[in-house]
Structure formats: structure tokens, C-alpha cells
Amino acid sequence: MSVAVALATSFACGLAAMFVLWLVSLVRRDVSIVDVWWGPGFAALAAIAFAIADAPGARGALLLALTALWGLRLGGYLAWRNHGRGEDPRYARMREHHGARFAWVSLATVFGLQALLQWFVSLPVQVALLVPGSAALGALDAVGLALFATGLFFETVGDYQLARFRADPANRGRVMDRGLWRYTRHPNYFGDCLVWWGLFAIALATPAGWLTIAAPLAMTFLLLRVSGVALLERSLVRSRPAYRDYIESTSAFFPLPPKRSRG
């Protein structure tokens, strides 16, 4: 199977999965389930590419394992976090705004768009699996694994620390500024970014890997300017006045010492 046909196949499978998820969302009247599928969807695309590939080798197995680890952890965490909370306010506002048209709007702008983004961002993994090149692991694989591990640490520990903070009733209405959150306002998004640059570094060890550089760039842009830092902070500034002070003292993305302690 050619690379183009293989990528078209994975895209079709991703769309089909999102369509089924959309049907479930109509029954449940809850579009938030798409967020839970975000991570596992990447693992599914990697598994499809791995199954199609002629000889993915050790690097292919590594990419599949890393993508599955990241995706399933994220999906499991979001499923646990969102359980019993109802539809995310973002989607609830969309539902109210579009009224009877919301079902079809959500199919295109939520489920369809996320299917496209999943497929595009996962291109480094898919292309590296489909065009594996040398089977021997080397320096780029080590660099990629180190970036991935650091990113997964920031994501996992950041999520854990925030969950513990929110679980304490005494912290209601307060701003989380402890642990990793003392050094970056978004350790989870920073970690997510590192994960995908790490997977891209591994893909660079394959002949066509460099062609997929737009994928980690797109993920970085989404995290910083679209669905990550920018979107969340607009909401937090409105709902928590103390967040403005947190912005003044703490790096937005890259971990840095708090300004108040720099002397």
C-alpha cells in the first residue's frame, strides 16, 4: 500500500470514529466526550499506521508505544475529571447560540475539525511508521525520547497537582500557584508541546520525517494561541481577579523562576 493511500485510510478511519462519537453525543446531549477521545484518537491513528506499515521495526514500536502511553493517559485523566460534570461550558454556549442547528454545526466544527487536527498533528508518527528507513535507533531517537519523557512528566505531574488543589474545598476560588504551577502557568500545555516535538525528533530519524515539521508547529500554535493558553486565560481573568497577579509573576508557558523571587 502506498503512503498516500495509507494516510487516506487512516484519515477515513479517524473521520468514521468521530462520526460515531458525534452520534453518541446526540444521544447523551454532551459534546464534551470529544475531548476524552482527543488523546486515544492519536493512539488509534498510530495503531492503524503500524498495522498498515510493511516493516515498522524498533522505531515504529517505540513510536506506537509512546503515542499510546500519552494518548491513553490523557484520555483516562479527562474521563475521570469530566465524570459527572455535564457538558463543558464552551459547548454549552455553542449549543445555546446555534439552537436547533447545533447538532450539524457540532458535526463540522467540533468533531470534523478535531478529526482533521488529529490526523494532521499525528503525521510525524504516521509517516515515520510508513517510511521507516534505517531500523537502528540512534541519537535522534534518544533526543526525542528525552523530550517526550520530560513533556509527559510536566503533563502528568501538573494534572495531578491541579487535581489535588481543586479537591481541597479550602482552595475554592483561589489560583493554583504551587508545584510546577509556580514556574509556568500551564505545565500541562508545555508538557504537551514537548511530547509532540519529541515524537517529531524521533520521526526525523526517518527519510521523510522532516516533511512533517508543520505538525508540531501546528500543535504549538494551537496550545499557545487557540484552544490552550489564550482561551483558558481569557476565562480565568474574568472569573478570578487574583489571576492577574499570577500572570504578572509567573511565566505563561516555558518554566522560569517566579518574578517575585528573582531579586
Give how far Cα 121 sits from Cα of 38, 45, 83, 115, 125, Å.
11, 11, 27, 10, 9
Instruction: Quote the number of domains for the chain.
Output: 1
Residue located via cell numbers 516555558:
254
Q: What is the pTM of this model?
A: 0.92
Tell me the HSE value of 30 on the side-chain side, using a 13 A CA sphere: 13
Residues near 155 by Cβ (< 8 Å), separated by ≥ 6? 70, 73, 74, 187, 188, 191, 192, 195
CA distance 218 to 200: 12
Confidence of residue 233 (pLDDT cuts 50, 70, 90): confident
Q: What is the pLDDT of residues 14-64, one digit of tens each?
A: 999 999 999 999 999 999 999 999 999 999 999 999 999 988 899 999 999
In whole angstroms, give the CA distance from residue 123 to residue 251. Answer: 30
Q: Which of 233, 227, 231 is nearest to 252 (CA)?
A: 233
Which residue range is the domain that position 172 belongs to?
Answer: 3-261
The 10s digit of each residue's pLDDT in 114-152 is 999 999 999 999 999 999 888 789 999 999 999 999 999
